[in-house]
A = this chain, B = another copy of it.
Amino acid sequence: MQSDLVIRALAALAQVHRLAAFRLLVQAGPEGMPAGALAQALAVPASSMSFHLAQLANAGLVTQRRHSRSIVYSADYAAMGGLMAYLMENCCGGEACVPAPSCTPQISEAKDVA
């Protein structure tokens, strides 16, 4: 993960609605949630939610796939791990640091994660 992407990822997360949406997706797991459900959960107009989801996607933090009329978003766990790794890099000059974390869920029934 390079600097520019990291900046975009951090900027994407540094906004109330996007942070909330991302966390909902993180907690939802690989199955994800449709845009409308996110908009409703956060009480944000559809067009605004779309704007925010586009930024999360642009930063590589979420993926999207169409499921019938809905567009379902899922958190990209690898991207999240990469972001953390970048922030921790060479922590304390490389001494006594915990290795970068990762969250790799066992894919249960949602194998079609785009």
Residues of A within 8 A of B (CB): 3, 6-7, 10-11, 13-16, 19, 23, 26-30, 77, 80, 84, 87-93, 95-106
- Contact sample, A vs B, 28 pairs, CB 8 Å cutoff: A3-B19, A6-B19, A7-B16, A10-B11, A11-B14, A13-B14, A23-B87, A26-B89, A26-B90, A26-B92, A27-B91, A27-B93, A29-B92, A29-B93, A30-B92, A77-B92, A80-B88, A84-B88, A84-B101, A88-B103, A91-B105, A92-B105, A95-B105, A96-B106, A97-B103, A97-B105, A100-B101, A101-B101
Known contacts A84-B101, A96-B106: does B3 contact A16 (CB below 8 Å)?
A: yes
B-chain residues with CB within 8 Å of residue A91 when the two chains form the complex? 26-27, 77, 103, 105
In the complex, the answer to whether B88 meets A92 with C-beta atoms within 8 Å is no
* Distance between A29 CB and nearest chain B CB, rounded to angstroms: 5
In the complex, the chain B residue whose C-beta lies closest to that of A30 is B92
In the complex, the chain B residue whose C-beta lies closest to that of A27 is B90
Smallest CB-CB A-B distances: 4 pairs: A10-B14, A11-B14, A92-B105, A91-B103
